[in-house]
Chain A
């Protein structure tokens, strides 16, 4: 019970922080107005809009106000599906890769870790430009389009954005898991399991993986934050009509606050459930 209360407290703190930030951003949107009165007015306005959702309006191109809920959820779910799918893809790829790496001899293992560490620092823009350029080059050479590289009003590409968004994070997850596994493999109980005659594969799947899940969840937060930042650039360059494009088109402080809270909700639910699960199973406290 205490745990649930603390989660709720945490959620409220983050919501307060997001409201303060959005109110602060509001000072910069219509030219620069650094005025404490406007700041307070923004806070009140945002809080009101969050309670009474009919206040969430944007001004359309014709100059008339309309509620954001006409097409808001289309944008929201498109972005969130890509985001979550990329997250789970990267965790899966990272885990599978590290499973295969433990069978390799130590020397190659060390080289792979070092290469992964260098590759993970590649900027996301580099990955995007390589993908777009190579698909385009292939198109110029052969005349067949492998994937739609830009979304239009008719097509909503899912596959390519998810893969592109998952590439770098999966390298990061791979590096983290490999590090944790190598640390775990030196513990005495692994020696016992080896002496009992279990194979490497069995030890990895049933003992090591199980014990490092809490650490993986803790570390995955940095992956989520990285992906969130990449999403912004991503929607622009792949011309995805997602939630962030919507925000850039209609920058209203209350819409910004509402959207950010909506993005936070699935992340918060995931971590809260995970930490309750881990606490029940292992008694460890997750710091996230």
Chain B
């Protein structure tokens, strides 16, 4: 794992993600998540302009239709996005390791039917499944824009819980497959002949061999979770619920409570059709950057892991290279 930080690609992705998180948390600690609102701005003829203001009038990113500073709203939201995705991923992967091992080692007789039934969840599009499971606090079903009876933290808890359980079957099967591959290796056979029990083989041999794979699965699931959250945002399900606020035109608008990126994305998507499209472009561009940062970490980690496997081969190649450089009849140094 230490070597991963030596990889440029991994380091870039990691510092981008953790930097964002750190800034967001610092903002929370220092300013208590206060969102600065722009006062009514005047144009050259001293006539007031209505918000939203573009990034030219109100740098760096302009404001939304309530005059809230977009950059600060995004900065406040990012800690919810990253932390929620990280927590969901951990909760998905850790139980899946146990379930995967149980499927492979103790339920081997019915491994195949279990895998086929778990496969069915793949054909239920995840976004649709989660939408149905969480629909009771989304904006689509509560067409009257009624307030949700649950509190902010309860809603976040439900959101994380549902997003976690929908993926556990698929990851469990994935880990069961990985365990099967490792279990077929020669060194497992050896230790089994020497009398090791299943438990000892799992703890002492399979887990250490699987750990690098787990990091890769972890980052991949992190990206999947971010994309799923963005999809849910578009379908009107925001983490931590929403409240209704009336804008300048006295139109009721839904505002996400946590203003995290995936929710903001869905909340502002329709600004694409108005004359201020930048509002909907900001969250999607930022979310894309975050996903690419995670992908950089993934690619960097994979490069490090595959180079570690080849470590044994490298000296041999170098030795051959040295031999090629020598003249045909050159004296070799005598070994002292």
Q: Which 6 A-B residue pairs are closest in the complex by CB-CB distance?
A: A17-B120, A13-B116, A121-B295, A17-B117, A232-B127, A14-B120
User: Contacts of A125 on B, CB cut-off 8 Å?
Assistant: 227, 230-231, 234, 265, 284, 287
Tell me how far the C-beta of B277 lies from the nearest C-beta in chain A, rounded to whole angstroms.
Answer: 6
Determine whether A228 belongs to the interface, using a CB cutoff of 8 Å to chain B: yes
Looking at A51-59, A151-159, A183-191, A260-268, the stretch in contact with chain B turns out to be A260-268
What's the nearest-Cβ distance from chain B to residue A264, in Å? 5
- With a cutoff of 8 Å between Cβ atoms, the chain A residues found around residue B129 in the complex are 21, 25
Shortest Cβ distance from residue A241 to the other chain B in the assembled complex, whole angstroms: 16
Q: Does B189 interact with chain A (Cβ within 8 Å)?
A: no
The answer to whether A18 and B234 touch across the interface, beta carbons within 8 angstroms, is no
Closest A residue to B265 using CB positions:
A125
Would B132 and A122 count as touching, CB distance under 8 A? Answer: no
With a CB–CB cut-off of 8 A, which chain A residues contact B118? 17
Residues in A neighbouring B120, C-beta threshold 8 A: 13-18, 20-21
Q: How far is the CA of A256 from the CA of B131 in the complex (A)?
A: 13
Question: In the complex, what residues of A have CB within 8 A of residue B226's CB?
Answer: 123
Instruction: Find B125's partner among A114, A117, A129, A228 (CB 8 Å cutoff).
Output: A228
Determine if A29 and B135 form an interchain contact, defined as CB atoms under 8 angstroms apart. yes
Residues of A within 8 A of B287 (CB): 123, 125-126
Considering only residues 9-64 of chain A, those with a C-beta below 8 Å from chain B are 9-10, 13-18, 20-21, 25, 28-29, 31-32
Q: A interface, by DSSP: helix, strand, loop or mixed?
A: helix
Asked whether B116 lies within 8 Å of A260 as measured between CB atoms, the reply is no
Q: Is A136 interfacial (CB 8 A cutoff)?
A: yes
Cα distance A53–B280 when bound, in Å?
44
CB of B291 closer than 8 Å to a CB of A: yes
Q: Report the minimum CB–CB distance from A285 to chain B (whole Å).
A: 13
Minimal beta-carbon separation of A268 from chain B (angstroms): 9
Interface residues in A236-271 (C-beta closer than 8 Å to B): 236-237, 244, 247-248, 251, 256, 260, 263-264, 267
A29 touches B117 (CB 8 A): no
> CA A80 – CA B281 in complex, angstroms?
30
Interface bits B289-316 vs A (CB < 8 Å: 1, else 0): 0011011100100000000000000000
| Contact string against A for B residues 252-294, beta-carbon threshold 8 Å, 1 for contact and 0 otherwise | 0000000000000100010011000100110011011001101
What residues on B are CB-neighbors of A237 within 8 Å? 234, 269
In the complex, how many angstroms separate the beta carbon of A123 from the nearest chain B beta carbon? 5
* B interface residues (Cβ-Cβ under 8 A, vs A): 113, 116-129, 131-136, 140, 223, 226-227, 230-231, 234-235, 265, 269, 272-273, 277, 280-281, 284-285, 287-288, 291-292, 294-296, 299
Instruction: From A117, A124, A251, give the contact of B227 (CB < 8 A).
Output: A124
A71 contacts the other chain (CB 8 A) = no
Q: In the complex, A229→B11 CA distance in Å? A: 31
Chain B residue at minimal CB-CB distance from A17: B120
Interface residues, chain A, with chain B CB atoms under 8 Å away: 9-10, 13-18, 20-21, 25, 28-29, 31-32, 114, 117-118, 121-126, 129, 132-133, 136, 225, 228-229, 231-233, 236-237, 244, 247-248, 251, 256, 260, 263-264, 267
Given contacts A17-B120, A126-B284, contact A136 B136 (CB under 8 A): no
The answer to whether A14 and B291 have CB atoms under 8 Å apart is: no
List 16 additional A-B contacts (Cβ < 8 Å) besides A13-B113, A17-B120, A18-B120: A9-B116, A10-B116, A13-B117, A16-B120, A18-B124, A25-B133, A118-B299, A122-B288, A129-B284, A136-B273, A225-B123, A232-B128, A232-B235, A233-B127, A248-B128, A248-B140
Select which of B123, B136, B269, B273 is within 8 A of A18 by beta carbon.
B123
Of B124, B136, B230, B292, most A-chain CB atoms within 10 Å: B124
- Note all chain B residues with C-beta closer than 8 A to A122: 288, 291-292
Q: Are B128 and A17 in contact (CB under 8 A)?
A: no
Which B residue sits closest to A253, measured CB to CB?
B132
Task: Please determine whether A117 and B299 come into contact, CB atoms closer than 8 angstroms.
Answer: yes
What are the residues of chain B within 8 A of A28 when measuring CB–CB?
A: 132-136
Is A14 a contact of B127 with CB atoms below 8 Å? no
Q: Can you give 24 contacting A-B residue pairs, CB < 8 Å?
A: A13-B113, A15-B120, A17-B116, A17-B117, A17-B120, A17-B121, A21-B120, A21-B121, A25-B129, A28-B133, A121-B223, A123-B287, A123-B288, A125-B287, A126-B284, A229-B125, A229-B231, A232-B125, A232-B231, A232-B235, A233-B127, A236-B234, A251-B132, A264-B123
Min distance, Cβ B239 to any Cβ of chain A, angstroms? 16
Tell me the minimal C-beta distance from B78 to chain A in angstroms: 16
Q: Which of B134, B292, B299 is the one whose CB lies under 8 Å from A114?
A: B299
Give the nearest-CB partner of B120 in chain A.
A17
Q: Please tell me which one of the listed residues B125, B235, B292 contacts residue A121 in the complex, with CB atoms under 8 A apart.
A: B292
CB-based nearest B residue for A288: B119
